[in-house]
Amino acid sequence: MNGCFVCKEGGRLHYTYGNGRHETICERLNMCPDIITEHNLEQHRAALRSVDVIFCTWDMVPFSFSQLSEFFPSLKAVFYAAGSVQYFARPFMDRGIRVSSAWQTMARPVAEFTVAMITLANKGALPAMRRYQTQSMAESNKLTRLVYPGTYQTAVGILGAGAIGSQVIQLLQAYPVDLMVFDPFITPEKMRGLGLARTYSLEEVFSSCQTISNHIANNPQTVGMLNYDLFARMNKHAAFINTGRGAQVVEADLARALREEPLRQAYLDVTWPEPIAPDSALRQLPNVFITPHIAGYAAQEVNELADSMIEEFDRFSKGLPLAREVTPAMLEHMA
């Protein structure tokens, strides 16, 4: 079987397929010797005509339908060692090319990071840390003993019960919190599997929860859906966590709500644009905690993503059902 690696020039392919993963793939397939980028398609035109599968990761080249028809006429499957395929997958699917992604694998570290942030937010740990550093231990303790409730019987809102949201819900079932989930697309079967008796509206979640964590699918319909009307409903010391996508948040509205109630918190691992604009109001607020999109895999953890795609290729090559395939219907509701 013939294959190739595809990545934008200067991208992170070797980062993900490092520590022997690149070599493992080359041992199993007849691989194009060069990484295919946005600039060398013509150079490798002859070899690409017989390529059956592509291995890729973040920084995948978003080929058009016509480019796929012209340069990859034999392509049957794409193995994407990362999460969301929204930015490149549709032209492949329109040509009947199967796309597999490590989205389920990717969900685990994001869910673990999110639950850690929920715990810290419920305790007011980072505001307390800042107050301790700038004022005193006594002033810091006022936050943790009188303002922020901790975990016990605390209402936690989860926006979206997709791959990551579902894992967050499952992890939180070990905590004594009261879960309120918003997801207009969740099925009764999935609700039963997650132990949910009902779902809630966005207005109910923002009005009732101490901490709200965003995992809503990223698509044109969800851009800007988290706005001032919702953020203003948060209680005076509630927290908003975003490890999903930044475009769903109206940044100026979030900043306004945080200025109005300084004990509110925002934990943002994603922003829009990314990196966050230098003059963003959120960068100036002491109750905003921004991390550089680190909820997913880091360092050697990324090799698990490559391993999952090697396993998926093995299933494909043996004619077995794919375990991580993304279908066109799934794209409608996925991040």
Nearest CA-CA partner of 15 in 53, 57, 72, 67: 57
The answer to whether 75 and 56 have CB atoms below 8 angstroms apart is: no
Q: Which of 245, 264, 315, 324 is catalytic?
A: 245
The answer to whether 169 and 107 have CB atoms below 8 angstroms apart is: no
For 143, which DSSP code? I
Residue entry with tokens 């942030």: 117
Q: Which of 130, 293, 315, 333 is catalytic?
A: 293
Q: Angle, to 10 degrees, between the axis of helix 103-123 and the axis of helix 303-317?
A: 150
- Spatial separation of the C-alpha atoms in residues 41 and 43, rounded to whole Å: 5
Strand order across the beta sheet in which 211-214 lies: 178-182, 155-159, 211-214, 239-242, 265-268, 288-290
Is 293 known to be catalytic? yes
Which residues does residue 179 pair with via DSSP β-bridges, in sequence order? 156
- Spatial separation of the C-alpha atoms in residues 111 and 89, rounded to whole Å: 24
Strand intervals (E) in 235-314: 239-242, 265-268, 288-290
Q: Any residues with CB less than 8 A from the CB of 132 and at least 6 apart, and which?
A: 139, 140
The answer to whether 85 and 174 have CB atoms below 8 angstroms apart is: no
Q: Would you name the residues annotated as active-site residues?
A: 245, 293
